[in-house]
Structure 1
Amino acid sequence: MNEQVNSGELASAEVVGQSGLPLSELVSDRRVHSSVYTDQAIFDLEMDRIFTKTWVYIGHESEVPKKGDFRLRKIGRQPVIMVRDKDGKINVMMNRCLHRGAIVAEVEAGNTKFFRCWYHGWTYDTTGKLVQVTADEGYEPGFCEKKGGLARPPLVDDYRGFVFACLDENAAPLDKHLGQAADLLNYLIDASPTGKIRLDAGVNKTSYRGNWKLVGMDGYHVNYVHASVVQGWSENSDSGIAAMHKNDPFSDEALTRTRDLGNGHVLLDFREHRMAAIDKYLEFLRGAPGGEKYVEDMIAAYGEEQAKKNMSLAGDPHLGVFPNLQVIGNQVRIMNPISAGETEVLMFPVMFEGVPDELNTLRLRQHESFYGPSSAGSPDDAEIFERAQQGMRATVNPWVDISRGLHREEVDADGTIVGKISDETTQRGQIRAWRKLMTGG
């Protein structure tokens, strides 16, 4: 008698790429096969099984504030347009003409009433509707109406202005996908007294010759890759942001933790550590230009206790939302996978609404100091990612170890898995989501 085998079991046993191993054996809680990062065949499968099967962050509503404003983004390698239409609604549409498949929007941002394909001149409005074809005598009457409009992802939703899309109509709703990650996004949004943020200060773009999954939430590397920055923080630990790093938050003796929130979402949790230094931080804020008004407005908006919690992280939950969004430092970050060995990273400084201009200027300077092209931090990360990618081409022992802290993890009351700040709880959380999506189980 033949036993029925489900598609998840078949996918788990599937061999992809050069490793010769089934997908299910490429990763575990202790190790990951290097081919997961280096093999183009595995990367191509990721584009199908991860980026088309789960929710992907597209952009923030503040990036398209006016009717006709648009931004070009990607779902994996697929081009999409985020646009605010003539009625004020934000739409996400595939950037592909209905005729011969050419893109209809070329510049990465702008304002328009129509998208026009340069191949044969087919024209669409900001709702995606096909409104005109050239030399229309070659088509039957009513052709535009019958043809419809630009294709759309089956699912589009937002969480407090963060717009997501999913190409799988059977995917779970966005709120279920985000789970506890939504609560952490609130720490960014509610660091504004109005509960509104803006991503209108431009973008830092970088690319590195390495895999997209290397951009992880890693508390282990900071004291080594960013040693000079950490030393600077310790030498100025009684002022500014440095006060929040007093007593080395990247020490396993600190109050900081790593968390696996589920669904691949992970966190470097500084909440308890930073609340321990909140009075010192508020003293700094009150002394900064515009800071006194900011603190008082936050207390008026949220009450003193909640305002302190909201301000403690300075809008930085240090959150990774699988597969392509991170909220770190003063920025919202998008990871765009290009190939197995190349990744683009877009970093958008976050401005708070309802605060003095001087405070947002300070936030922007802080962003530039660590994440700008000539900064003290981000170039170090790109360099180490490239060194990792180079080293993983050696296949004599092809395994990457992610077991740090596995023996001392705990499950918190909220169901999250918790480790010390240097533990690879975050890497394990991400790779579990990778395995589930890649194997269907």
Structure 2
Amino acid sequence: MINKTLKETQLSDGTKISDLVDAEKGIISPRIFSDQEIYELEQEKIFSKVWNFVAHETEIPNQGDYVTRFVANDPVIVVREAENKINVLLNVCMHKGMHLCRTDAGNTKNFRCIYHGWTYKSDGTLMGAPAAKEAYKGAFDKNQFKLVNARVERYAGLIFATFNQDAPSLDEYLGDMKWYIDLYFNRTPLGMEVLGEPARWIIKANWKSAADNFASDSYHTVMTHYSGVELGQLPPNPMFASFGVQVAMENGHGIGVIGAPPNIPLPEYLALPQEIVEAAQAKLTEPQLEALRRSNFVPGNVFPNFSLLNVMQLPGLEENEYPIPFMSMRVWQPKGPNEFELLSWFLVEKEAPQEFKEASRDNYIRNFGASGMFEADDAEVWSGIARVTKGVTAKKELKLHYIMGLDAEHEPGNWPGPGKKIAQTTYTEQNSRNFFGYWAKLMSEES
């Protein structure tokens, strides 16, 4: 049980979150990755309070289209009611709490519970129930049983939801991260589209390991993904992934933009087709175009658990093969302190030639699909952390050190984008400290 008698929330053994996370010094206890009580507190303090990414608009383009997702550990239905109206409904029947919609995606005019047949419209309004007049003797008011609706806001085709009526607007919550979302999700007049349904698989690890990795950790690239070096997909230079900028933003958001190392002639603009570059030039601002020109590998994370990966990936060993970029977004959906479900989407510009769309998707599947080479590397690392840090001694005695770049100067240099920047290198853990600092802040606040 959580002790809420003091100003700062304490765990049942009296431990404060501030005892476990010192973001300013970069010292973190591994207990935050393995403790059941902390996991349950996260659902209350974080996921139920902030904006959660639930779907992309192109997943539900037509009236009646829906997908089922999660907000915190609450199942939800994301459904298009009309052309410009999207609802996010708690996926629980108002009668006896049955799981209402049990398919991942589809199209329907209504949602009918298999338990007693209560049927709801796409806005959650109860349409009726079998034999309601006879069974309830006239004491059945349909207006009392509307499904619980979340707040829904959208940005650049991304749909977010929260059940917290006191949360700030999505615009305020995203803050400077909108500049980068526009750059990587919304850079052409027609925007991006999701192709296919998200791939889903389970990883035996804590969701924060994955979110932190995408927010901050380019340092692991050459070592963890050394097989990519051996196959000629990555340069052998151990500093390869350090050339660029890391940007920390308010509310725990972070992104890294890795550019070309000196003396390595990599293409500009993520090696995107000329049609896409020209479309971006017609839409983006000059500073955004400069940032896109200098982008080659771009991981980032919108707090808490929505990540992006827009990269220029070499397809193989052939010298004459041209790099093929791809765009992926993913959600690290917590299922327990040492388990999360990974949802991974492939996106591409609507304006892109069909040949490029197919090649880009193939490269995404080969490298960051469920059995992709680089995806498997990361999963082994995250699950390895979970395996060895949940012992009694590890949780009591071990301290993890997120100290890289702790004394680095935060100067904009010549980077054109907003946020707190460490110029000239991405070998820093400022975004980790930013992520865990905001995590600790939310976890410490009284409800």
- TM-score, normalised by the number of residues in structure 2: 0.84
* Corresponding letter in the other structure for 1:434: W
Query: Residues 324-377 of structure 1: CA distance to partner in whole angstroms, max 9, x if unpaired?
Result: 211113201111000001011111001211221112112212211211133210
Query: Residues 73-93 of structure 1: CA distance to partner in whole angstroms, max 9, x if unpaired?
Result: 101211011000146511111
Match of residue 326, structure 1, among 307, 310, 316: 307
The answer to whether the Cα contact below 8 Å between 1:102 and 1:119 also exists between their aligned partners in 2 is yes
Query: Residues 7-46 of structure 1: CA distance to partner in whole angstroms, max 9, x if unpaired?
Result: 999352x33156x521221101221111111110110000
Q: Which residue of 1 aligns with 2:224?
A: 225
What is the aligned length? 413
Q: Which residue of 1 aligns with 2:401?
A: 401
Q: For residues 41 and 271 of structure 2, what CA distance do their matches in structure 1 show?
A: 49
Deviation at 1:317, TM superposition (A): 4.1
The answer to whether the Cα contact below 8 Å between 2:62 and 2:83 also exists between their aligned partners in 1 is no
Query: Residues 218-243 of structure 1: CA distance to partner in whole angstroms, max 9, x if unpaired?
Result: 112111111121344567x7xxxxxx
Q: Which residue of 2 aligns with 1:134?
A: 130
Q: For residues 241 and 275 of structure 2, what CA distance do their matches in structure 1 show?
A: 32
Q: Which residue of 1 aligns with 2:207?
A: 212
Match of residue 368, structure 1, among 347, 360, 365: 365
Q: For residues 173 and 107 of structure 2, what CA distance do their matches in structure 1 show?
A: 32
Deviation at 1:302, TM superposition (A): 5.3
Match of residue 257, structure 1, among 220, 240, 245: 245
The answer to whether the Cα contact below 8 Å between 1:60 and 1:161 also exists between their aligned partners in 2 is yes
The answer to whether the Cα contact below 8 Å between 1:66 and 1:88 also exists between their aligned partners in 2 is no
The answer to whether the Cα contact below 8 Å between 1:190 and 1:310 also exists between their aligned partners in 2 is no
Q: 1:121-200 residue pairs with structure 2 within 5 A? A: 121-136=117-132, 137-139=134-136, 141=138, 143-153=140-150, 155-191=151-187, 193-200=188-195
Match of residue 84, structure 1, among 80, 83, 88: 80
What is the DSSP-based 3-state SS (H/G/I as helix, E as strand, rest coil) of the residue aligned with 1:50?
helix
Match of residue 267, structure 2, among 273, 276, 280: 280
Query: Residues 64-106 of structure 1: CA distance to partner in whole angstroms, max 9, x if unpaired?
Result: 0011110001012110110001465111111011111112100
Q: Which residue of 2 aligns with 1:44?
A: 40
Q: Which residue of 2 aligns with 1:384?
A: 381
Q: Which residue of 1 aligns with 2:91?
A: 95
Query: Residues 308-331 of structure 1: CA distance to partner in whole angstroms, max 9, x if unpaired?
Result: 6546547x6422000121111320
1:432 paired to 2:437: yes
Q: For residues 45 and 305 of structure 1, what CA distance do their matches in structure 2 show?
A: 40
Deviation at 1:277, TM superposition (A): 8.2
Q: Which residue of 1 aligns with 2:346?
A: 349
Structure 1 residue ranges without an equivalent (≥5): 1-6, 238-244, 286-290
What is the DSSP-based 3-state SS (H/G/I as helix, E as strand, rest coil) of the residue aligned with 2:197?
coil
- TM-score, normalised by the number of residues in structure 1: 0.85
The answer to whether the Cα contact below 8 Å between 2:156 and 2:186 also exists between their aligned partners in 1 is no
* Corresponding letter in the other structure for 1:320: N
Q: Which residue of 2 aligns with 1:416?
A: 420
Q: For residues 64 and 33 of structure 1, what CA distance do their matches in structure 2 show?
A: 41
Deviation at 1:167, TM superposition (A): 1.9
What is the DSSP-based 3-state SS (H/G/I as helix, E as strand, rest coil) of the residue aligned with 1:128?
coil
Q: Which residue of 2 aligns with 1:63?
A: 59
Deviation at 1:390, TM superposition (A): 1.1
Q: For residues 270 and 384 of structure 2, what CA distance do their matches in structure 1 show?
A: 41
Q: For residues 339 and 192 of structure 2, what CA distance do their matches in structure 1 show?
A: 30
Give the superposed CA RMSD: 3.0
* Corresponding letter in the other structure for 1:439: S
Q: Which residue of 2 aligns with 1:10?
A: 6
The answer to whether the Cα contact below 8 Å between 1:190 and 1:196 also exists between their aligned partners in 2 is yes
* Corresponding letter in the other structure for 2:437: R
Change (3 A) 1:247 1:234: farther
1:201 paired to 2:196: yes
Deviation at 1:284, TM superposition (A): 5.9
Q: For residues 83 and 419 of structure 2, what CA distance do their matches in structure 1 show?
A: 42
Q: For residues 260 and 88 of structure 1, what CA distance do their matches in structure 2 show?
A: 33
Q: Which residue of 1 aligns with 2:314?
A: none
* Corresponding letter in the other structure for 2:195: D
Percent of aligned positions that are identical:
27
* Corresponding letter in the other structure for 1:355: A
The answer to whether the Cα contact below 8 Å between 1:187 and 1:317 also exists between their aligned partners in 2 is no
What is the DSSP-based 3-state SS (H/G/I as helix, E as strand, rest coil) of the residue aligned with 1:406?
coil
Deviation at 1:435, TM superposition (A): 0.9
Query: Residues 384-415 of structure 1: CA distance to partner in whole angstroms, max 9, x if unpaired?
Result: 11110111123432322211221225264955
